[in-house]
Amino acid sequence: MQESNIGAIGFVELPGRWSDTAASTGRVGLAWERVFNLRGQDRVEIIFKYRGVPIDEASRKVLNFLTAQGPCPSLDREQILALHTVLGVATVGDNQFTNDNQPGSLEGPRFHLAQASVDTVSGRNVLRVQGRFVNNLFYDGIFYTAGKDGRVVEELFLQSPEIADFETIKEDYQTILDSIVWR
């Protein structure tokens, strides 16, 4: 199924076993998300998302600098700290590198970051993050700028509560990433 005009993505092809959820087109203020579920496994999701808030100038500069450098297989602690706002202060950005509180505690990190890198997706350098949330949702996502001034960051990610499903669906996810035509 081909989808078009999802934020900075002009076109993307999703394998036929994915379906758009009825509730995914809603907006809250400027924020939006599109959710696609694997048929028969509604907890396995591919989500296109914009949080509705532009990032600050310092974060924009860091993201643009890192992606302009080209692919990088592993970002270091300082780079991850500098990308805290880009990643989302209450989601992927709240990880063991940005939050020194005890994992599992009330104030502890909400996300365990396994890998952060700069990858090329369909000819464009993006920030890619992999890991697991404390609620055991496995995550593999990309962050990319949108809009003419680059202060808008959108996110596209795969998440699943089961590692077996997550590993099985990663091939679909890579196919989706490879099919992207950027605006």
State the pLDDT at residue 47: 96
Q: Tell me the three state secondary structure of residue 76.
A: coil
pLDDT at 24 over 70: no
Q: Where are the alpha helices (DSSP H) in 40-132?
A: 57-68, 77-82, 84-87
pLDDT at 85 over 70: yes
Q: Give the strand pairing for 9-13 and 181-182.
A: antiparallel
- Delimit the domains of the chain by residue range: 2-182
Interior angle at CA 83, CA 54 and CA 134, nearest 5: 100
pLDDT at 74 over 60: yes
What CATH superfamily classification does 2-182 receive?
Answer: Mog1/PsbP, alpha/beta/alpha sandwich (3.40.1000.10)
Question: Distance between CA 127 and CA 119 in Å, rounded?
Answer: 6
Amino acid at 21: T
State the pLDDT at residue 4: 94
What does the pLDDT look like over 90-121, one tens digit per residue?
Answer: 999 999 999 999 999 999 999 999 999 999 99
φ and ψ at 16, to 5 degrees? Answer: -60, -20
